[in-house]
Amino acid sequence: MKNRQMEQFQEIFGTRGEGLYFSPGRVNLIGEHIDYNGGTVLPCAITCGTWGVAAKRTDRKLRMYSQNFKDRGVIETDLSDLRFDPKDDWANYVKGVLYFLRETIGEWPCGLDIFVEGDIPNGAGLSSSASLEVLIGTMVNDLFCLGKTPLDIVRLSKKAENDFVGVNCGIMDQFAVGMGRKDHAVALDTRTLEYDYIPARFPGVRLVIMNTNKRRGLADSKYNERREACEAALKNLQQALDISCLCQLSPEELEKYEHLIADPVGRGRARHAVTENARVKAAVNALRRQDIRRFGQLMNESHISLRDDYEVTGKELDALVESAWKQPGVLGARMTGAGFGGCAVALVKEDWVDAFVKQVGDDYTRAIGYAPDFYMPAVGDGAGKRNTQSDGD
Ligand code: GLA
């Protein structure tokens, strides 16, 4: 098999790689900030992602190289001593997954060389970290015949992100990356982990991802603040209601009981979670009947709720989305991912895409002072072994 990543692996490690793997990024179509509130989310895997090649070693070393962080060279550690180290940067995601995999298999039979290369912009909210985690889990599971299911890898990758890297995310990203399916969105009930694949072909319509190019900065602390506000609101509601998460309530039920939420800001946070969950249900129905227009309206309403009730958009995402709404041929647009920067997503009629990119690009640059980027990946499969590079593109 001739493949660029396989060749690069050989150049760096001086030995042949044993297999080529791909793990996608994700874009969430609707259902934002509710994967930690027991809601239903609707992400899909995209054809941008992370490639990986690995091979077993005869000693117990773990050696890792990323083509995206060439300056850092090969990062080396011992497989029996995996610890978070801020200076190892991207390699902590690899170590985290291997750390928790080891808990389930006992000791590693031998060491590993790992090469990765990705085309998901870092920090853009398209899940480059979940892509890397799930890639490592998938690769190592296969190489060592560990017998883990894709869902095991998803759970383990989330654990690595929460408990090794220390980011308190929900399960949506790892799930979409590990379980995504070509041309389908995944409707995932994050309370029960029941899921369903919904055909997500939009005839004559393109999925356009718009990157604010704003680094997320304080995003993690603000993300955690939102989670805490939801937890506090839930506690207040539990005085009168037998519920384990906010998304068990309908918007009507919340209206009846929202006076119990002590903090007025918390009331807005809860309102977003509950109404967003209702929007996802409506969006799934719209997608099933191929009613893209209705789907687009729900995307717009989702953005407004994230802007006004959840307050996670910020001026950059609002500038992109509000410009997108004004363009001809646009069915819907909203921020996607955690917010505070990162990306937005729009559904745009094919004939209008060029004009859309030009106009939204100009509007954004005028308002914010620098240019956005646009990507148009297809909806692809979840992580797995690939024979050639074109399998994932
Ligand atoms: C980030 C987190 C996800 C999810 C989204 C918001 O991407 O990793 O778990 O909470 O934000 O929907």
pLDDT, tens digit, 9 for 90 and up, residues 194-231: 999 999 988 999 999 999 999 766 567 899 999 999 99
Is residue 307 in some structural domain? no
Q: Dump pLDDT digits (tens) for 272-331.
A: 999 999 999 999 999 999 999 999 999 999 999 999 999 999 999 999 999 999 999 999
Can you give the pTM of this predicted structure? 0.96
> Which pLDDT score, from 0 to 100, does residue 393 have?
44
- Report the C-alpha gap between 234 and 228 in whole angstroms: 10
Question: Does 251 map to a domain?
Answer: no
Is the model's pLDDT at 391 over the cut of 60?
no
The count of domains in the chain is 1
118 in any annotated domain: yes
Beta strands in the chain (DSSP E): 19-28, 40-41, 43-56, 61-66, 75-78, 112-118, 184-189, 195-199, 205-211, 330-336, 343-349, 373-375, 384-385
Domain boundaries, position 81: 4-199+379-392
SS3 169: coil
Please check whether residue 67 lies inside any domain of the structure. yes
Mutating to test ligand 1, I would choose from 26, 30, 33 the residue with most ligand atoms within 8 A of its C-beta, which is: 33
Q: Please write the tens of the pLDDT for every residue from 96-121.
A: 999 999 988 888 889 999 999 999 98
For a mutational test of ligand 1's pocket, the pick from 30, 157, 173, i.e. the residue with the most ligand atoms closer than 8 A to its C-beta, is 173
For ligand 1, the distance from its centroid to the CA atom of residue 337, given in whole angstroms, is 5
**Secondary structure class of 63 (helix, strand, coil):** strand
For residue 35 and ligand 1, the question of a CB distance below 6 A is answered with yes
Q: What is the pLDDT of residue 392?
A: 45
- For residue 289, being part of any structural domain is answered with no
Query: In this structure, is residue 88 part of a structural domain?
Result: yes
What is the average pLDDT score of the chain?
95
Strand partners, 55: 113
What are all long-range contacts of 331-334, with beta carbons under 8 Å and residues at least 24 apart?
Answer: 331/205, 331/292, 331/293, 331/295, 331/296, 331/299, 332/295, 332/296, 332/297, 332/298, 332/299, 332/300, 333/210, 333/296, 333/299, 333/300, 333/303, 334/30, 334/32, 334/299, 334/300, 334/302, 334/303, 334/306
**Whole-angstrom distance, CA of residue 386 vs CA of residue 17:** 13
Pick the closest to residue 375 from 348, 340, 339, 341 (CA basis): 348
CATH of the domain at 64: 3.30.230.10
Contact 379, 45 (CB under 8 A): yes
Atom of ligand 1 nearest to the CA of 125: 7
**What is the per-residue pLDDT for 80?**
86
Please name the residues in contact with 295: beta carbons below 8 A apart, sequence gap of 6 or more: 283, 286, 287, 331, 332, 347
The number of beta carbons lying within 10 Å of the beta carbon of residue 201 is 12
CA of 183 relative to ligand 1 center, distance in Å: 22
Percent of the chain with pLDDT over 70: 97
Q: Torsion over CA of 76, 389, 158 and 313, rounded to 10 degrees?
A: 110
C-alpha distances (whole Å) from 312 to each of 250, 341, 352 are 22, 9, 29
What amino acid positions are annotated as catalytic residues?
173
